[in-house]
Amino acid sequence: MSADQRVYVIDDDEAVRDSMGMLLESADIDYSCFASADEFLDDHDETRRGCLVLDIRMPGMTGLELQKSLGATGSTLPIIFLTGHGDVPMAVEAMRQGAFDFLRKPVNENNFIERIQLALDQESGDWRQKTDREQLCERVASLTGREREVFKMVAEGIANKVIASELGISERTVEVHRAQVMKKLGARTLAQLVRIHIESE
């Protein structure tokens, strides 16, 4: 678990909320509790890290609605749903919408902690990936217009000679641009350059 990750517990039942908090505390996991989806959304921003534990059945905005709303903002926070007796159809819907998991109340605590850890790990990986991609995009953005043209054509496997004639420049100039692109993007081989191109799109 990374230091800035925490578990966001959203449940309208005070006792369930409180006991879940205590369990997370006993497992040395940071957490915050909210009594409703609205309360959670009130000071939500995209810098939040960690995962959500969400009661599927709540007055006001339901768990499923919160999931949709977060999905629409591009949030990748994993959501573990807590369901009661007879909520299976809703749980299936939640999974279809990309929930991380769902657990029946009363939950098996060890399983619960384990799932939380997995969700946090996944979010960690996602975050790293996301961060990498963001850095990559920044680097691509630092290319000049001509360099970007050369980058794109090289990555598509077009020969230097062809590129030179297409762009109306000398083959030598193409080679200089290509070396500059490799340097700026931190790629050492053509294969790396190709992967960067794919990821950046």
Partner 1 sequence: MAQNTQTQMENQSSNGDFYRLETLLQNLPGMAYRCLNLKHWPMDFVSDGCFDLCGYQRHEIESQQVLWGDFTHPEDVDFVDRTVHAAADKGEPFEVEYRIIAKNGQEKWVWERGRVVDYRDDGIAILEGFINDITDRKLAESALIRAEAYAQAIVESAVDAVITVDDQGSIESFNQAASAMFGYRADEVRGLHCRRLLAPEYFREFDRFFQRRRDPAAIAVQSIELGGSDKHGREFPIVLSMREVRDVDEKKFVLLIRDLTEQRRAEKEVREQRDVLAHVDRLNTLGEMAAGIAHEINQPLTAISMYAQSSIRFLNKSEPQLNRLQDALQKLSQQAHRAGAVIERMQEMTRPHQSHQEVIDANRMLREIHQLGEVEAQIRNFIIVLRLDDNLPAVLCDAIQVQQVILNLLRNGMESMRADGCSPGSKIVLQAQVDNGRLRISIIDSGQGISRKLAKQLYQPFMSTKESGMGLGLSISRSIIAAHGGQLEFMNNKVAGTTFHFSLEVSS
27 scored as a contact of partner 1 (CB under 8 A): yes
| Site map (CB under 8 A) of partner 1, residues 145-164, x = contact | --------------------
- Token pair 């000049």 in the structure block, residue: 144
How far is 181 from 170, CA to CA, in rounded Å?
17
18 scored as a contact of partner 1 (CB under 8 A): yes
136 scored as a contact of partner 1 (CB under 8 A): no
CB nearer to partner 1: pick between 71 and 84: 84
Q: Is the dihedral of CA 37, 43, 46, 48 positive or negative?
A: negative
How far is 195 from 187, CA to CA, in rounded Å?
10
How far is 78 from 181, CA to CA, in rounded Å?
36
Give 70-92 as a DSSP string: HHHTT----EEEEE-TT-HHHHH
| Site map (CB under 8 A) of partner 1, residues 38-77, x = contact | -------------------x-xx-x---------------
Interface residue list for partner 1 (CB under 8 A): 13, 15-16, 18-20, 22-23, 25-27, 57, 59-60, 62, 82, 84-86, 105-107, 109-110
